Chains A and B, each alone.
Chain A
Amino acid sequence: MVQAPRKRVDLFPYLLLSPALLITILVIFYPIVRTFTYSFMQYILWKPTEIKFIGFDNYLKAFEDPVFWISFQNTLIWIGGVISLQLLLGFCTALLLNQNFFWRGIARTLVLIPWVTPSVITALMWRWMYDGNRGVINDLLVRVGILSSYFPWLANDTTALYAIILALMWQGFPFFAIMILAGLQAIPDTLYEAAEVDGASALQKFTRITLPMLVPVLFTSLMLRIIWVANSLDIIYIMTGGGPGYSTHTLPVYSYIRAYKGMDFGYASTIAVVLTLLVTLFVSIYVRKVLRMEDRGAV
């Protein structure tokens, strides 16, 4: 490590950071701080004369709001479902793509397609495929004999959220596949060779070498992905608009609906702040762990 001189503060690292800090402060800080203050205000866009500070009233309101709690619960199912499915499929894909075979380059490229398709298209196509009257998914399931008649996947309050989770799994698994593949390729072959000499089974190699070596990759990609998924709303909103009823309301969807359908920016900001706190809590555990690993000499 390049050691900073002890006697005076080294400004060089700060200078390297300054452009990134400058632009974040200039462009993000002001909007975030403003939105944060809205959460303590009664701020309804079309009532500009009635904007006032109301302390924690919005937070108390959220606490008593059943829709908030439904959205909260859905958010947990949403994050848990999407992340675990994306991770699982991404992991399998990465393990397969890590091998040597003739169509590897093409496979890697094709697997990326869900990620590069614009969300509008992804959401509308999945909605069209799930359609309860003319959807290809229903047609296939009926043809195969799993269903006897078409099922309204998105119009049913128990299946809607899971149907969207599946669509988001499709969109996001390539991210994990690429990240984990990168991690797999970095594991030195010598480790496996040594294990082979010791007579380790394939399973042992996987649990003793592959998994532990992948932990750092998994940490970073999981953390970044959780943040992204927790905030994603376009696919849900286009597919069901948060319905039927409240069955696909998540916190970002609810916040969006409060802000742009109800024009209630005060309450919408409150929901956003709560969501941010929730994710921060979740992620801080990861961050601390990542930083600790870094300091422990992994770097």
Chain B
Amino acid sequence: MRKGKQRHRFLRRALTLHIPLLIIVGFALAPYIWTFLTSLTPEEDLYLSEFRYFPANPTGTNYLRLFSRIDYGRNIRDSLIVATSTMLLGLCITVPASYSFSRYRFKGRTALLAQFLVINMFPVVLLLVPLFILMRVLGLMDTYLSLIIAYSTFTIPFSTWMLTGFFNAIPKELDEAAQIDGCNRFTTLLRVVFPVALPGISATGIYIFITAWNEFIYAAILTGSNVRTIPIALQNMIGEFKIAWGLLTAGGVVSAVPVIVLFFFIQKQLIHGMTAGAVKG
């Protein structure tokens, strides 16, 4: 009896949880795996007339060439610098801003909050020429800083909104208690609210990081030979008359790895952090 019930429960769990989730994870992974399989296939085998799911002669040369001939390590380094700095700058700027939106009711609050959304709605490709001029005037062409600043244009609005939500979820009593304990308003944010909101802040950070990690068009226009991020390197594998499939797919597979590893280590905190903020919108 008991055994049957247990088996029934297991079956139910498999049907309502494990199997559907496996299908979804499979869906999420399938194109990535397909990319991976393509990257292991020698280029001349890609066009065999019979259809193969697994390469007959798998090879790792695409990965070797990626690092020896293309200098992909340098692209990864540049992307890491740009994405990390964008994340840090974005957070330094939006943490105080969101705290202000969350804790204070002041004149123009709604309008200011709304403007952060409106500026996010304009298609970025059209802003390229003025942005180019701006960077030239500032003397920032082809520097890390040009990308970091340019990326702020779309990360600031987004993270301001997200963080405002996270701060809203933290009880105001915490601030009040801190101020009674002798904190001024600035140290309240820094020493009391900031640590509590840290998970939410890291969640926002991950969002900024991923966005900056994958950005192409600003990088293509604003940087040149000095700074070359991963999307630029990948795009260079798509020529006028030829796509370097092997390198491109290998590069795509590799580029997801650092972010995935990063996420794996902070995912618990991220979920917890998002929980705190998102619920209050």
Contacts and interface: CB of A to CB of B under 8 A. Distances in A.
A124 B279 contact: no
A101 B20 CA distance: 13
A294 B126 CA distance: 34
A174 interface: yes
B103 A35 contact: no
B106 A260 contact: no
B11 interface: no
Interface string A216-235: 11011101100100110110
Nearest to B124: A231
Contact of A101 (B18, B35, B103, B176): B18
Contacts of A293: 281
Interface string A179-221: 1011101110000000000000000000000000101110111
Contact of B103 (A2, A24, A122): A2
B126 A186 contact: no
Contacts, number: 298
Q: How large is the interface on B (under 10, 10 to 19, 20 to 34, 35 or more residues)?
A: 35 or more
B24 A89 contact: yes
B195 to A, nearest CB: 18
Chain B binding surface SS class = helix
B94 A20 contact: yes
Contact of A35 (B104, B127, B162): B127
Contacts of A29: 119
B279 A2 contact: no
B130 A34 contact: yes
Contacts of B99: 16
Contact of A233 (B121, B123, B169, B231): B123
Given A16-B96, A28-B127, A185 B272 contact: yes
Given A182-B271, A299-B168, A259 B248 contact: no
Contact of B281 (A125, A217, A227): A217
A92 B24 contact: yes
A93 B175 contact: no
B217 interface: yes
A139 B50 CA distance: 11
Interface string A7-33: 001101110110111011001111110
B103 to A, nearest CB: 6
Interface stretch (A53-61, A156-164, A268-276): A268-276
B280 A299 contact: yes
Contacts of A269: 126
B165 to A, nearest CB: 6
Contacts of A252: 123, 125
B161 A220 contact: yes
A20 B97 contact: yes
A35 B126 contact: yes
Nearest to A173: B28
Interface in B1-17: 13, 17
Contact of A19 (B13, B32, B97, B134): B97
Contacts of A111: 24-25, 28
A287 B117 contact: yes
Interface stretch (A62-70, A76-84, A102-110, A241-249): A102-110
Nearest to B229: A118
Contacts of B274: 178-179, 181-183, 185
Interface of A: 1-2, 4, 9-10, 12-14, 16-17, 19-21, 23-24, 27-32, 34-35, 89, 92-93, 96-97, 99, 101, 105, 107-122, 124-126, 128-129, 134, 136, 139, 170, 173-174, 178-179, 181-183, 185-187, 213, 215-217, 219-221, 223-224, 227, 230-231, 233-234, 252, 255-256, 259-260, 265, 268-269, 272, 275-276, 279-280, 283-284, 287, 290-291, 293-294, 298-299
Q: Which 5 A-B pairs have the closest CB atoms?
A: A182-B274, A216-B281, A121-B252, A31-B130, A16-B100
13 contacts: A14-B100, A21-B112, A31-B130, A105-B264, A113-B28, A115-B210, A116-B256, A129-B31, A136-B51, A185-B274, A221-B278, A227-B120, A287-B113
